[in-house]
Structure 1
């Protein structure tokens, strides 16, 4: 019998073309009334994870300027070990765009991963007055 269409098939490996930038386990305080982890909590963790690569390029203050895409594919559950992978998409004159993919290692299924979220963020380098500043091109 096949799995229902709304349940993702587990993966045996994680992305080799992306960088692991954050690992976290949600706590009971992060659970909503349905018993799943709040979407807003997941979004906040994605924003933190997404900022790792841009920080290397901005070399100073930066701010999230856009959430270009955010897709919840599967619920995040209490006890999941979440792995956040990121990859550079684009470096502009003042901004950096990255993609973030989140994989859950379920408490009851260690060693198997399910993609639960994907997002694309744009961060802008800012000066002391909060205005965009150029990023040194490499």
Structure 2
């Protein structure tokens, strides 16, 4: 697990569901944690791809962000991210369910913000 947080009232839209943009930001934070660990330094997000929102998230739901590195390039890292939800306020159909998934691409950068190479052999 990369990240765990709680859906709060200020994260909702006019319908009372959690904003998709807030969910994407949690995915990005979780993915960046893994990318930093892999690259051993600073990273930036360069792309979010194929994000699928399967089930809505409600206030009070526990958000669990999981990630897996699926490709390491010379300076880039591709991570598949999933958001799994656990409901606490009502009896869920399942204990946890998949709410959202997508792929994020990060690039390792140096102090001046330029892409930097890293030794990917350490991680293969």
TM-score using structure 2 length: 0.90
8 Å contact from structure 1 (residues 70, 119) kept in 2: yes
Q: Mapping of 1:1-138 within 5 angstroms?
A: 20-107=1-88, 108-109=90-91, 112-137=95-120, 138=122
Provide structure 1 residue ranges, at least 5 long, that are not aligned to the other structure: 1-19
Work out whether residues 62 and 126 of structure 1, in 8 Å CA contact, stay in contact via their aligned partners in 2.
yes
Deviations 1:3-50 (A, max 9, x none): xxxxxxxxxxxxxxxxx1111101111111000011111110010011
Question: How big is the shift at 1:68?
Answer: 2.0
CA contact (8 A) 1:95 1:135 kept: no
Query: Which residues of structure 2 form unaligned runs of 5+?
Result: none
SS of 2:2's equivalent?
strand
Q: Which runs of 4+ in 1 moved over 4 A?
A: none
Measure the CA separation in 2 of the matches of 1:82 and 1:37. Answer: 11
* RMSD of equivalent CA atoms: 1.2
Considering fraction of residues, name the structure with more helix: 2
Q: Secondary structure at the match of 2:28?
A: helix
Cα offset, 1:109, TM superposition? 2.7
The TM-score, its normalising length taken from structure 1, stands at: 0.82
Structure 1: how far apart are the matches of 2:82 and 2:111? 31
